[in-house]
Chain A
Amino acid sequence: MEQKLSAADEKIISDLLPKKFNRQGYVWIGILLAICAVGVFAYYRQIRYGLVVTGLRDYALWGLYISNFVYFVAVSLVGSLIAAVLRLSGVKWATPITRISEIIAFAAIVFAGISIMLDMGRPDRFYNLFIYGRLQSPIIWDVLVIVTYLCFSFILIYIPLLPDIRLMLNHPEKNPKFLNKIYSFFGEFWHGTEEQKAIRNKAVGVLTIGIVPAAFCIISVDAWLFATTYRPGWDATSSEAYFISGAFLVGCGSVVVAMYVFRKYYGLEKYLTDSHFDKMGKILALLAVLYVYFNITEYMIPFFKLKNSEEAYLNSLLLGHFAPVFWFAILIGMIIPICILVFKKGRTPLPMFITGIMVVIGAWIKRYLIVPPTLLHPFLPMHNVPKNYTTYVPTWEEWAISMATIAGTLLIVTLFTRIFPIIPINELIEERHEKDNQ
């Protein structure tokens, strides 16, 4: 394989091999680490004094952490969308963004698991889930599917990485010593023989098919966490479809943001082309329309009927206390992005970047609006409880911990790009050769 490399291939390799961070990069990592440090301190306070340091109380018993959990699970779905759904449908242009989407998915699912633990009143008893775990509980379903999806994601990143690791091992003098150790630990055995390639292709084929049901499971279980309870607003029959469509949307949005940042920072204009943005823009627009549709079934149809138990909840969400935030999320998460993306100019990199950020923020607010508004409208009236029980205002500790989980996700993605090529080099070269042969 190595002797066949042409000058053009060498160019691709030298363009795409991981590069040292410049000053901006170090500042970025410094900021992320600082946010994580504050989060760790806040979590220390939460462990020491109990969940009383949060704004959670008996009615709003879930808040930011569970919203974040739902959000991370949603983001992680993109790994399967880009890597599997597009690959299986024979879309070739998506090759350069597969690894971006997979590493985002991996980082997100790691922090989805962590978010659940952050929410636990007794994280010291986490092992009880394994000792006493009962299959009938949706939390156990969640543990199972998250671990499964985590493994799938990891292997799906790892196997296509092997030829790229070999490339880096071929030039050990270019890499810092400790990275060479990582490379040889992960990829020393890979020599790119025909036999190895056959195994790799088979494994990737199995995984791309297998990850689709796994991904649908995590997001469905996520929806069932809410749908298995008797609560106004968590009762919709279409909640899984609503969750899945929203998850595809936010995942796609986050990939667009990452594409823009990597392209800018590493100068990848040749690999992440305007045409990639254009195509991702079309997908994003389609997903946004789909999500609007499911929002209508989720909110408008119950609002039309206005059942007794749901009246107060829907009124506060659509017209009352939560209405400004709700409509803001609908606007920036769906309506404005659709308006931007229908135009060809809107699907160029910078507008796409801004749209992606709007989608990501809007999606986070939407996740938040799934959790506390329902909990704050129980069947029986809130009576004779302290005033802070009737509302939910997250404390600084909760914000700090939540920010730390987001910073942690970004940190994983950032460090990954330092160690491994963020665009699959080997696959690009192979695809180029295929084209040449034709």
Chain B
Amino acid sequence: METNNTSRKEFLTSLVASGLALAGCSTKKNPFQPAGAGAPAASGEKVKLLSVDGDIIEVDRAYLKPIPEMPFVSNLEERKGIPGKKFVMVIDLARCKNLKKCEIVCNKMHHLHSGVSWLKIYPMQAGEHTAPYWQPTTCMHCDHPPCVKVCPVDATFKRQDGIVLIDANRCVGCRFCMAACPYSIRVFNWENPDIPEELCEQEYSCETSIPQKKGTVGKCDFCPDLIRKSELPHCVTACPNGTFYFGDLNEDVVTNGAETFRFSDLIRDKAGYQLMEDLGTHPSVYFLPPVNRNFSFENGLENE
């Protein structure tokens, strides 16, 4: 941690700052909402606010307008991605004890159909006499994605920031991408997903992946909607053991929220590897081998 340099500090500060800023106005029922939307008439009631310069200012309540939580991102921008970024994830297998917090939060936040998970934790054992370990598995967001190669309609696509997403408004449901994915991470909406009605009516966004639609494919999306807000993906923040690190390869930095590392150092020092790299898929997710573990494999069995 003492190796922190300015750029990493900035990265963290920006994460925290934006998180705080958004916490204030993220609720649906905004107290600042003027009664008669449209043409506001001065109500005479003043509200004290803190300006960006740190001065206390007074504004008429009627003139207050909530800033939308997220600026609108068009489908074209969603397909392009965030310029200048190359997102990577590092999963430290020594820290996973199959708590499943990541999976539970991911399912909840993406409003997945009951029984469906995008993030799966596999009990892995390479050989008969090798040690078993828990392997949380997200989408690998491959740089040579087999799923994107075979998609007939460009419904699943690779962005310039490295993220592979799905456009459920375009997907024809042929499931070729699922057959092509060697990691079996893709899931299909075999029926109407059981999600709240107001979500169903919401316009689908490739970045939130909400709402999932019948007859289309879904998968882990690296939470690009959170990244746009400079927040970490749900699984990263949910894990109490800090198993997941997320960051930007161009800045060469990854963080699990509590600790931040230079990505290249982490991979070098802990002998990071990619899953099934022999297939030539070039995953964006790296694994740190389960050495010097925090928990024994058996610890995780109680959550099965």
* A residues neighboring B (CB under 8 Å): 49-52, 56-59, 61-62, 116, 119-123, 125-126, 128-129, 131-134, 136-140, 143, 225-226, 228-231, 375, 378-381, 383-384, 386
A231 contact set on B, CB distance < 8 A: 179, 182
B122 contacts the other chain (CB 8 A): yes
Nearest chain A residue, comparing its CB with the CB of B127: A308
Closest 4 CB pairs of A and B: A121-B173, A121-B215, A139-B152, A52-B191
Q: Select A121's contact among B174, B181, B281, beta carbons within 8 Å.
A: B174
- Beta-carbon contacts under 8 Å, B180-217 to A: 180-184, 186-192, 214-217
B73 contacts the other chain (CB 8 A): no
B115 contacts the other chain (CB 8 A): yes
Knowing A50-B189, A121-B215, A230-B279, the reply to whether A138 touches B173 (Cβ < 8 A) is no
Nearest chain B residue, comparing its CB with the CB of A135: B152
Asked if B174 and A50 make an inter-chain contact with CB atoms under 8 angstroms apart, the answer reads: no
Asked if A50 and B214 make an inter-chain contact with CB atoms under 8 angstroms apart, the answer reads: yes
B279 contact set on A, CB distance < 8 A: 230
A61 contact set on B, CB distance < 8 A: 175, 178-179, 188
Cα–Cα distance between A48 and B137 once the two chains are bound (Å): 33
B150 contacts the other chain (CB 8 A): yes
Asked if A230 and B190 make an inter-chain contact with CB atoms under 8 angstroms apart, the answer reads: no
Cα–Cα distance between A251 and B170 once the two chains are bound (Å): 36
Give the distance to chain B from A388, nearest Cβ to Cβ, in Å: 11
A59 contact set on B, CB distance < 8 A: 184
Asked if A128 and B170 make an inter-chain contact with CB atoms under 8 angstroms apart, the answer reads: yes
Task: Tell me the interface secondary structure of chain B in the complex.
Answer: loop
B172 contacts the other chain (CB 8 A): yes
Cα–Cα distance between A119 and B176 once the two chains are bound (Å): 11
Give the distance to chain A from B82, nearest Cβ to Cβ, in Å: 23
Knowing A121-B215, A228-B150, the reply to whether A52 touches B190 (Cβ < 8 A) is yes
Knowing A56-B190, A139-B150, the reply to whether A125 touches B170 (Cβ < 8 A) is yes
B178 contact set on A, CB distance < 8 A: 58, 61
Cα–Cα distance between A379 and B277 once the two chains are bound (Å): 13
Cα–Cα distance between A378 and B216 once the two chains are bound (Å): 21
Asked if B146 and A134 make an inter-chain contact with CB atoms under 8 angstroms apart, the answer reads: no
Knowing A121-B188, A128-B153, A139-B150, the reply to whether A383 touches B123 (Cβ < 8 A) is yes
Asked if B146 and A230 make an inter-chain contact with CB atoms under 8 angstroms apart, the answer reads: yes
Asked if A379 and B183 make an inter-chain contact with CB atoms under 8 angstroms apart, the answer reads: yes
Cα–Cα distance between A58 and B188 once the two chains are bound (Å): 6
B172 contact set on A, CB distance < 8 A: 120-123, 125-126, 128-129
Give the distance to chain A from B188, nearest Cβ to Cβ, in Å: 6
Cα–Cα distance between A427 and B217 once the two chains are bound (Å): 53
B151 contacts the other chain (CB 8 A): yes
Q: Select B191's contact among A49, A119, A122, beta carbons within 8 Å.
A: A49
B179 contact set on A, CB distance < 8 A: 61-62, 226, 229, 231, 375
Q: Select A129's contact among B152, B188, B214, B276, beta carbons within 8 Å.
A: B152
B173 contact set on A, CB distance < 8 A: 51, 120-122, 125
Give the distance to chain A from B250, nearest Cβ to Cβ, in Å: 27
Asked if A119 and B174 make an inter-chain contact with CB atoms under 8 angstroms apart, the answer reads: yes
Asked if A50 and B191 make an inter-chain contact with CB atoms under 8 angstroms apart, the answer reads: yes
Asked if B149 and A121 make an inter-chain contact with CB atoms under 8 angstroms apart, the answer reads: no
A131 contact set on B, CB distance < 8 A: 153
26 contacts between A and B (CB under 8 A): A51-B173, A51-B190, A57-B188, A58-B186, A59-B184, A61-B175, A119-B175, A120-B215, A121-B174, A121-B214, A121-B215, A121-B216, A125-B172, A128-B172, A129-B152, A129-B153, A132-B153, A134-B153, A137-B176, A231-B179, A379-B183, A380-B137, A380-B184, A383-B120, A383-B122, A384-B120
A122 contact set on B, CB distance < 8 A: 171-173, 215-216
Cα–Cα distance between A56 and B187 once the two chains are bound (Å): 12
B60 contacts the other chain (CB 8 A): no
Give the distance to chain A from B63, nearest Cβ to Cβ, in Å: 45
- Beta-carbon contacts under 8 Å, B280-296 to A: 281
Give the distance to chain A from B187, nearest Cβ to Cβ, in Å: 5
B154 contacts the other chain (CB 8 A): yes
B192 contact set on A, CB distance < 8 A: 50
Of listed B153, B155, B178, B188, residue having the most chain A CB within 10 A: B153
B154 contact set on A, CB distance < 8 A: 132, 134
B146 contact set on A, CB distance < 8 A: 229-230
Cα–Cα distance between A120 and B137 once the two chains are bound (Å): 27
Knowing A50-B191, A383-B123, the reply to whether A139 touches B184 (Cβ < 8 A) is no
Asked if A140 and B152 make an inter-chain contact with CB atoms under 8 angstroms apart, the answer reads: yes
B176 contact set on A, CB distance < 8 A: 137-139, 225, 229
Nearest chain B residue, comparing its CB with the CB of A130: B153
Of listed A49, A57, A125, residue having the most chain B CB within 10 A: A125
Of listed B154, B183, B186, B192, residue having the most chain A CB within 10 A: B154
Cα–Cα distance between A121 and B190 once the two chains are bound (Å): 8
B281 contact set on A, CB distance < 8 A: 230
Nearest chain B residue, comparing its CB with the CB of A126: B172
A384 contact set on B, CB distance < 8 A: 117, 120-121, 304
Cα–Cα distance between A140 and B154 once the two chains are bound (Å): 11
* Known A58-B178, A116-B174, A121-B217; 4 more pairs at CB < 8 Å: A121-B171, A121-B172, A137-B151, A386-B115
Give the distance to chain B from A369, nearest Cβ to Cβ, in Å: 16
Asked if A379 and B150 make an inter-chain contact with CB atoms under 8 angstroms apart, the answer reads: no
Nearest chain B residue, comparing its CB with the CB of A389: B115
Give the distance to chain B from A309, nearest Cβ to Cβ, in Å: 9
Asked if B184 and A134 make an inter-chain contact with CB atoms under 8 angstroms apart, the answer reads: no
Cα–Cα distance between A381 and B188 once the two chains are bound (Å): 18
Cα–Cα distance between A366 and B151 once the two chains are bound (Å): 27
Knowing A51-B215, A125-B172, the reply to whether A138 touches B188 (Cβ < 8 A) is no
Asked if B174 and A120 make an inter-chain contact with CB atoms under 8 angstroms apart, the answer reads: yes
Cα–Cα distance between A121 and B166 once the two chains are bound (Å): 15
